[in-house]
Amino acid sequence: MSQEDQPKRPQEPVKYGDVFEVSGELADKPIAPEDANMMQAAETRVFGHTQKGGAAAVMQSAATANKRGGFVQPGDTTDLAAERGVTVAQTDVPGARVTTEFVGGQVVGQYVEPRPVATAAATEAEAVGLSLQSAITIGEALEATVQTAGNKPVDQSDAAAIQAAEVRASGTNVIAPGGIAASAQSAANHNATVDRDEDKIKLIDVLAGATGKLTADKAVTRQDAEGVVGAELRNNPNLSTHPGGVSASITAAARLNERADI
């Protein structure tokens, strides 16, 4: 085979930012073989197998290409993956189970599995005089964000999305003093003056216990989701929403409520 007929090596490694919606230092890191192996192991622990077209499959393909190109060696691990972990977490919300995959603390994959509300729970609620609402509320969707993106520093796009969610939950345009929208805006203003992520206020600090912090709540609708997504997009310089973030959780809740015809 002549030199011209030989396949050319890629000029650049496949980086996390090429295949996932991640940011910062992780986006510029080549996907390493051990990163992919760790994600395969994490998916297998949770699902019993690797997900077809999931994060592990994407990472394995990228790592293989990077090895062929000579950018990484067998056994290499990305420092952020080694330090902050490669994990798969599951969160149960009314009517669904949300599975989120993380590399170095950032979301690289998310799956929403609809689940019927347990009849036993409805019977128990009725026995104590309560009406079990199977629809996912705005407050519950915001709380689910803590599980999927709780460690994300609050920025202006998050604050705008949270404000839109609170307004739709309350049915008024009044921002409650000390409420989650006010707290989110304060956090975004603070974070804009801070350099290090570890010193910034995170979504978990604002959204933990969100249901109890809302003056009113309601089941999430498609219109609610569209309003929250629009607010986050308008306030993001990249005109995108954060994977697993506020808009993603509200949208997932609206989709599940529609499927259940609630």
Average pLDDT over residues 45-56: 87
Task: Tell me the pTM.
Answer: 0.57
Instruction: Please provide the average confidence, as pLDDT, over all residues in the chain.
Output: 85
Per-residue confidence (pLDDT) for residue 142, from 0 to 100 = 93
Segment 6-38, tens digit of pLDDT: 555 668 999 999 999 888 899 999 999 999 999
pLDDT band at 119 (very low <50, low <70, confident <90, very high): very low
Which of 93-107, 110-124, 137-151, 160-174 comes out lowest in average pLDDT?
110-124
Rounded Cα gap, residues 165 and 41, in angstroms: 36
Q: Where are the domains of the chain?
A: 16-114, 138-261
Q: Calculate Rg over the CA atoms of the chain.
A: 21
Per-residue confidence (pLDDT) for residue 89, from 0 to 100 = 84
- CA 196, distance to chain mean position in Å, is 21
Per-residue confidence (pLDDT) for residue 116, from 0 to 100 = 59
Rounded percentage of the chain residues whose pLDDT exceeds 90? 49
pLDDT band at 174 (very low <50, low <70, confident <90, very high): confident
100 phi and psi, to 5 degrees?
A: -125, 135
Per-residue confidence (pLDDT) for residue 6, from 0 to 100 = 53
Higher pLDDT, 59 or 136: 59
Token pair 């460690």 is found at 151
Average pLDDT over residues 117-134: 42
Rounded Cα gap, residues 93 and 139, in angstroms: 11
- CA 191, distance to chain mean position in Å, is 20
